[in-house]
Homo-oligomer: A and B are copies of this chain.
């Protein structure tokens, strides 16, 4: 392992800590477990970080910055918006069911931060990141489908994040794939009903939106 720069060592510790948290939970991520995972002596931890909480704080900031991917890759044109939203949800769900410990760790870190005074601003940032990521995907998806959102993008993004959070939590609790599929079907219906076809003409004779029927969402009261 030899000589590492201070920054490298901090990053190595953060990555090791993330692996430990995914495997054992936040509770099991003791300084000893982390340095064992990173194959370092215990003292290196406090050489790199002043305290365990400082490390956790940097770790959450790190994952909040670097975990905004997943669903983006699967976007492709030629589909109506309902199909695109459903496919995006499925892509997310596939990453979830392939590696549940990742999302489980994100939840645990959120709750840990909520209970720690100095970290109490981080959950807000975490959710802001979720919404931004969702907004990016929704924006790109609408463009590819030739549609526009009837609500502000950030509102649609928040609703999508609400679905995804609820879906993830329920699936982590009961591991019911069929139930998750039903939830995703409903979410795709509800979210895509907030879009309208942007370009021209009748929307139903192109065969691209067979399942979207009219729904006038009530104006938000707030």
Contacts and interface: CB of A to CB of B under 8 A. Distances in A.
Contact of A211 (B123, B183, B218): B218
A114 to B, nearest CB: 6
A102 to B, nearest CB: 14
Nearest to A82: B218
A216 B211 CA distance: 8
Contacts of A183: 158-159, 162
Interface SS, A side: helix
Interface of A: 24-25, 27-28, 82, 104, 107-108, 110-111, 114-115, 123-124, 126-128, 155, 158-159, 161-167, 169-170, 172-175, 178-179, 181-183, 185-190, 193, 211, 213-218, 220-222
30 contacts: A24-B115, A25-B115, A104-B111, A107-B107, A108-B111, A110-B169, A123-B172, A124-B173, A126-B173, A155-B182, A158-B179, A159-B186, A161-B170, A162-B170, A163-B163, A164-B166, A165-B165, A165-B166, A166-B166, A181-B221, A182-B220, A185-B220, A186-B190, A188-B218, A189-B215, A189-B217, A211-B218, A213-B214, A213-B216, A215-B215
